[in-house]
Structure 1
Amino acid sequence: MKNVCVAIFIILFLIVAGCEGQQEYQGHFHHMDEIDRSSKNTEVNLFKYEISIAAIGDLLIHDRVYDDGWNGERYDFLSMIEPVQEYLKQPDITMANQETIMGGEEIGLSTYPQFNSPFELGDDLQEVGVDIVTMANNHTLDRGEEAIYNAIDYYDKIGMHYTGSFKSKEDQRTVRVLETDVGISVAFLSYTYGTNGIPVPSGKDYLVNLINRDQIEREVTEAKELADVTIVSYHFGEEYQRLPNQQQKDLAQFAADLGAEVVIGHHPHVLQPIDWLEGKDGNQTLVAYSLGNFLSGQYELYRRIGGILQFSITKDGSNVKVHSPSFLPTFVQFDLIDDTITDLQVLPLKDVSDQQLPDASNHLAEIKEHLSQNVEELQFIE
């Protein structure tokens, strides 16, 4: 009888222990932040998250662009971008280079060489999925301080993130970090080689971030403490040159050596190849030396071909990796009648007909070869 009682007790103990073990596992699974993420066991490896990022090139809004957008009530850029909006909305974060300051109509719209764009551009970018704009470029100071403050006030009003140009020292010191629902955070930094000879107002360096290695090193270091991934945007290079110059390569390597995971370049107005660089600590940095023009009124073929860069970020415990770059070449299609642009749209180059661009398929093939010359595994979005 005693042996039977002992057996029953052992069986009950095992049942209770099994239930408690199951509850403990479920509790860890639910409260994933409590897990020791440095562990390599199977339970921790269940928590793997991934997001996608998209980046587009220059928004260079000439008068012929905003004139074509005027519909009698507002400046409509939405219809121009709608053909590619699915590629901008789908990623978790989409960034754009706002080449022309968005100072609004109240100070007078203007075109090259000193640009000023309407506020509707910000509304329509947000509508198609853009989450953050970079503002440090050679045209930032085109219309002075007022245009910068107007643009930032409007971005604040609509909830659009911005970086590279700021309204105060305090604003400049705040690194832009975008958090995602799955717990992956991304920091965005932006710098330009210059401002077309327009001096930065004394004591107001915050109005535009110039390329200064001490500042870049300080801000990348801070960004890496605040975010999982740091993206550095440079406005650099030579206009209309399809290959990066040595200065671009040196600055991209500088960012890689600091540990930045991604470098996005602007200014040449044409596409330059994608590359991977190895930082001094063995880290890999994705580099797009120039994303070309996304939306502009420029006429030349290569200045009308831009694109959407996409890549993924995976976070597996404490390991974060940028991977799987892909690209959608785009084409600014318009009709030109007596030097007037009409019916402007940004189209996927893969969908452009020979009537819109003679020999379109061969142009697409050449662009693919050009972009992937350093990265054979670069995928193209179909």
Structure 2
Amino acid sequence: MKNKLGKILGLAIIIIILLALLIGKNEKVLFNNKENRDEGIASEEIEEDYNNKNEENISEVVNDINTIEIVATGDILIHKEILETQYNSETDEYDFNNNFKYIKKYLEKADLAIGNLETTLSGIENYGFSGYPSFNSPDSLADAMKSAGYDIVANMNNHCLDRDVNGYYRTRKTLVDRGFDVIGTRESIDDKRYIIKDVKGINVGVISYGYTMTVEDGNFGVNGISIPYDLLQLMNYYHPDTLENDMLNMKEQIELMREDGAEVIVFYMHWGDEYELEPNDIQKQIAQFLADEKVDIIFGTHPHSLQPIDMIQSSDGSSDTAVVYSMGNFLSSQRTERIGNPYTEDGAIVSVKVNKDMETNEITVDIPTYIPTWVNWYGKDAKLFYEVVPATIDDADYLTEEGRERIKESFDRTTSVIENYDEAIEVNKFIDTDN
């Protein structure tokens, strides 16, 4: 009997101890410090404070800043020298993948990559492949660009009609069939003049415009070719003689993009004077107009040489627009040896980061950064190969001793031109130098 009573008492003591521990644990939840106990704060108040802290934590999560990276490159020109090298007589095929292999990682890692295709993809049957002055390239060029990481292709430029109206339509179809968004031209008058991409929760509106000229018959044209009126309606163009109205059209498209939900607006412009290192008056006029319309980013092509990057303030002082007047040649055979102009060897991959506060929906756009690029060439198997390389590496094993010297010269040329306007522009800021 004593043993049984002892066991009962022992069990009771254990239960009491456990209850005491449990009460102490609950007290720590409700009164988590001595000051609260001394001040007699009620448990409801502590619980309310606890809930508020949870709400703050939730708010911190919701208040995350979402950042995307948009990159753009300049002119992709497939001259006959490149066509000859990329052709494999054994397979009767063209392969352009090696042209992009050293810069592929920079395009792939971007959330959105845009390039200017300054050639047609008109097929070989009726036209044949050729370079300057009337470009037509194999469809495999589009495959290589897709593999390199491009998402959007601009084709409203002075070579978009090099293989007439049929070439215009076939080029667009070839690009669309390979999954590209095409800007600057339309398939039908019912299509929008712009695209809007949901990029990681940020709606990015992208549009392209290219210059036109007056040709012999008095019509608007490109590369000396008259544009049929029906086709002109499918192009985003401007002309010096109608510039005021053309800018009003740009304004209308900006408003339509915003109505369609665009939070960031990007213009990709084919403009300027060839081989000039400074923007002309029309470039500056359009850039200021777009800045006043609160466009976020302007990427420029056509001069075949680099021009400065700048941050333009709107006339009312309320906003800034990043403008890259010209990104130069990205891929071409225009080199000092061929045309006597070293600046045509230089290009850039320009990066702009866009940030969105996911709670307030506020959008901010960072100052552009860039990677200088250079078109390296080398002889192999009786061919002359052209490859785009970062102009920041002077000891790469694919460079000859002469190449190492010339890439340094290219780097110096590029930084002196691009950073001529805005001291805030910094070179190589987004380069991963470990890879």
TM-score (norm 1): 0.86
Greater shift in the superposed pair: 146-155 or 356-365: 356-365
User: Is the CA contact (8 Å cut-off) linking 1:83 and 1:346 kept in structure 2?
Assistant: yes
Q: Does 1:198 align with 2:240?
A: no
Q: Deviations over 1:164-215 (max 9, x none)?
A: 01111112x252011112x112111111111123222122224422112222
1:189 maps to a residue whose letter is: I
State which of 287, 290, 294 in structure 2 corresponds to 1:255: 290
Give the letter aligned to residue 332 of structure 1: V
Q: 2:102 aligns with which of 75, 83, 94?
A: 83
Q: Which moved more, 1:274-283 or 1:200-209?
A: 200-209
Runs of 4+ in 1 over 3 A off after TM superposition: 10-26, 42-45, 357-360
How far did residue 20 of structure 1 move? 6.9
Alignment of 1:97-136 (within 5 A): 97-107=116-126, 108-136=128-156
In 2: Cα distance, 1:58 partner to 1:174 partner: 21
Query: What's the CA shift for 1:240?
Result: 0.5
Give yes or no for contact 1:145–1:207 (8 Å, CA) kept in 2: no
CA distance in 2, matches of 1:152, 1:291: 23
Equivalent AA in structure 2 for residue 234 of structure 1: M
The amino acid of 1:141's aligned partner reads L
Return the alpha-carbon distance in structure 2 between the equivalents of residues 23 and 307 of structure 1.
47
Paired AA for residue 279 in structure 1: S
Pairing partner for 1:350 from 392, 403, 408: 392
Q: Is contact 1:274–1:371 with CA below 8 Å preserved after alignment? A: yes
Provide closer, same or farther for how the CA distance between residues 342 and 315 of structure 1 changes in structure 2, counting only shifts above 3 A: same
Q: Distance in 2 between matches of 1:98 and 1:149?
A: 14
User: Residue 245 of structure 1 aligns to which amino acid in structure 2?
Assistant: N
In 2, Cα distance between equivalents of 1:246 and 1:128: 35
Are the equivalent residues in 1 in contact too, given 2:87–2:94 (CA < 8 A)? yes
AA at the equivalent of 2:298: V
Shift of residue 134 of structure 1?
A: 0.7
Alignment partners' CA distance in 2, 1:174 and 1:365: 38
CA, structure 1 residues 24+320, in 2 after alignment: closer, same or farther (shift >3 Å)? closer
Confirm or deny that 1:335 pairs with 2:378: yes
Give the match for residue 163 of structure 1. Answer: 183
Deviation by residue 1:88-124 (Cα, 9 ceiling, x = unmatched): 1111100001111222333422221111111111111
Aligned residue type for 1:54: V
Q: What percent of counterpart residues are identical? A: 32
Paired amino acid for 2:114: M
Question: 2:435 matched to 1:374?
Answer: no
Q: What's the counterpart of residue 361 of structure 1?
A: 408
Structure 2 gaps of 5+ residues are: 1-40, 213-221, 239-245, 337-341
In the alignment, structure 1 residue 312 sits paired with structure 2 residue 331: no
- What pairs with 1:1-382 in structure 2 (closer than 5 Å)? 29=58, 43=60, 46-71=63-88, 72-73=90-91, 74-107=93-126, 108-171=128-191, 173-181=192-200, 183-194=201-212, 195-211=222-238, 212-225=246-259, 226-282=261-317, 283-300=319-336, 301-316=342-357, 317-335=360-378, 342-352=384-394, 354-356=401-403, 358-381=405-428, 382=431
Shift of 1:45: 7.1
Q: Name the stretch that deviates more: 146-155 or 76-85.
A: 146-155
CA displacement at 1:311 relative to structure 2: 1.3
1:43 Cα deviation from its structure 2 partner: 4.5
Q: 1:322 to 1:15 in 2, by over 3 A?
A: closer
Gaps of 5+ in 1: 1-9, 30-41
* CA–CA separation in structure 1 for the residues paired with 2:142 and 2:383: 22
- Shift of the 363–46 alpha-carbon distance from structure 1 to 2, 3 Å rule, reads same
Amino acid at match of 1:290: S
Secondary structure class of the residue paired with 2:135: coil
Superposition deviation, residue 54 in structure 1: 0.6
CA distance in 1, matches of 2:136, 2:179: 20
Which is worse superposed, 67-76 or 282-291?
67-76
Q: CA deviation at 1:235?
A: 1.1
Conserved 8 A contact 2:73-2:350: yes
Query: What SS class does the counterpart of residue 351 from structure 1 fall into?
Result: coil
Indicate the larger mover: 88-97 or 202-211: 202-211
- Code of the aligned partner of 1:294: F
Tell whether the 8 Å contact from 2:112 to 2:151 is kept in structure 1 after alignment. Answer: yes
Name the SS of the counterpart of 2:368 in structure 1: strand
Counterpart secondary structure, 1:68? helix
Partners in 2 of 1:280 and 1:341 — Cα distance? 53
User: 2:142 corresponds to which letter in structure 1?
Assistant: G
**Mapped partners of 2:371, 2:47: distance in 1:** 57
TM-score between both structures, scaled by the size of structure 2: 0.76
User: Aligned equivalents of 1:305 and 1:20: distance in 2?
Assistant: 58
